[in-house]
């Protein structure tokens, strides 16, 4: 199937990146959010990131202008009905995603492929509540989208071959690499990554190390480019907690229980970089550990 117009729902840290790479690859993009402020912020971020690509010589000023010209923002969700492909990338809460799909369904063209950028929620379950489970799948980008090479493509139980092949062709046109994952809680990357981050929070909670020593240990001792707590702040602690809950509920194994300290940070609204504070405080010149 030929994809020309792509709808992106949710203009947060992931949604703006998805709109960026899609428009840069030549797709017309309709970017939706319930918040006008989020849309303005997303366009400012896309512009800033494109400028960085221009100054780094990776794209030309003309390509940047054309990319920006291919992105339209809207708070009107039904306006996405005519898109060939929709990537839902709103907040990681099933009821929010469910409401978005319910509101979109009556307006979709018959051929529209529906996908979700969810980090962990069951693709099969989301698909089963739509009128097109065979045209539904997981389209999971990594953060930051313009930089990270991988896209996980997750097949629900009913996803058909044409839908998978169409999404695979989109990933290839983006110049990215697809990993195909079966639909089990948190798929491949987060099934492995999140228990490691959660274990780092337990290590902090139990006083085995502090924020700095834990991050330094994994950076210098395991050659990770970022420490696990720094990475958790980057991802968003609410997202990390949501994924741990999905693993815990979905796999029914206590080894996935979220660390109470992670829950406490989320309850405090210390969600990481996006709120200015998490395991580090980002409000000053340099990040300062909060424990």
* From candidates 8, 22, 23, 100, binder to ligand NAD by CB under 6 A: 100
As measured in angstroms, the least distance from the Cβ of 2 to ligand NAD is 26
Query: Which x/- pattern over 59-98 shows residues binding ligand NAD (rule: CB under 6 A)?
Result: ------------------------------xxxx---x--
63 is catalytic: no
Rounded Cα gap, residues 171 and 153, in angstroms: 9
Q: Is 115 near ligand NAD (CB under 6 A)?
A: no
First to last CA, the chain: 52
Q: Is 32 near ligand NAD (CB under 6 A)?
A: yes
The CA-atom distances, in angstroms, between 252 and each of 154, 229, 247, 248 are 21, 25, 8, 5
Asked if the bond preceding 144 is cis, omega within 30° of 0, the reply is yes
Binding segment (CB under 6 A) for ligand NAD, from list 7-15, 54-62, 160-168, 180-188: 7-15
Tokens of 189: 């990357």
**Position with the least CB separation from ligand NAD:** 12
Tokens of 32: 């939706």
- Are the C-beta atoms of residues 135 and 114 closer than 8 Å to each other? yes
Binding segment (CB under 6 A) for ligand NAD, from list 138-146, 155-163, 167-175, 258-266: 138-146
16, 32, 117, 119: the catalytic one is: 119
Rounded (10°) angle between helices 260-267 and 189-205? 90
Rounded Cα gap, residues 139 and 129, in angstroms: 18
49, 92, 120, 152: the catalytic one is: 152
Q: Is 11 near ligand NAD (CB under 6 A)?
A: yes
* From candidates 35, 55, 128, 180, binder to ligand NAD by CB under 6 A: 35
Which residues are marked as active site? Answer: 119, 140, 152, 190
């Amino acid at each position: 199937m030929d994809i020309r117009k792509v709808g992106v729902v949710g203009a947060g840290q992931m949604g703006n990146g998805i709109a960026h790479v899609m428009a840069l690859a030549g797709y017309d993009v309709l970017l939706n959010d319930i918040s006008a402020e989020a849309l303005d912020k997303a366009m400012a971020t896309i512009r800033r990131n494109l400028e960085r690509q221009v100054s780094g010589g990776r794209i030309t000023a003309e390509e940047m202008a054309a990319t920006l010209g291919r992105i339209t923002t809207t708070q009107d969700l039904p306006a996405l009905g005519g898109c060939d492909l929709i990537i839902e990338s709103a907040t990681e809460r099933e009821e929010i995603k469910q409401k978005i799909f319910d509101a979109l369904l009556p307006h979709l063209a018959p051929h529209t492929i529906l996908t979700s950028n969810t980090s962990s929620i069951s693709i099969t379950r989301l698909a089963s509540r739509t009128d097109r489970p065979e045209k539904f799948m997981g389209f999971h980008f990594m953060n930051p989208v313009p930089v990270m090479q991988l896209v996980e493509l997750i097949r629900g139980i009913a996803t058909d071959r044409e839908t998978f092949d169409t999404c695979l062709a989109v990933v290839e046109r983006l110049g990215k690499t697809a990993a195909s994952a079966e639909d089990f809680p948190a798929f491949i990357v987060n099934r492995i990554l999140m228990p490691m981050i959660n274990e780092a929070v337990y290590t902090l909670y139990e006083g085995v190390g502090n924020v700095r020593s834990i991050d330094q240990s994994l950076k210098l001792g395991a050659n990770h480019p970022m420490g696990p707590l720094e990475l958790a702040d980057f991802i968003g602690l609410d997202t990390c907690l949501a994924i741990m809950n999905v693993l815990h509920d979905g796999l029914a194994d206590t080894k996935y229980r979220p660390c109470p300290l992670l829950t406490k940070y989320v309850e405090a609204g210390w969600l990481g970089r996006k709120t200015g504070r998490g395991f580090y405080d980002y409000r000053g010149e340099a990040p300062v550990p909060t424990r």
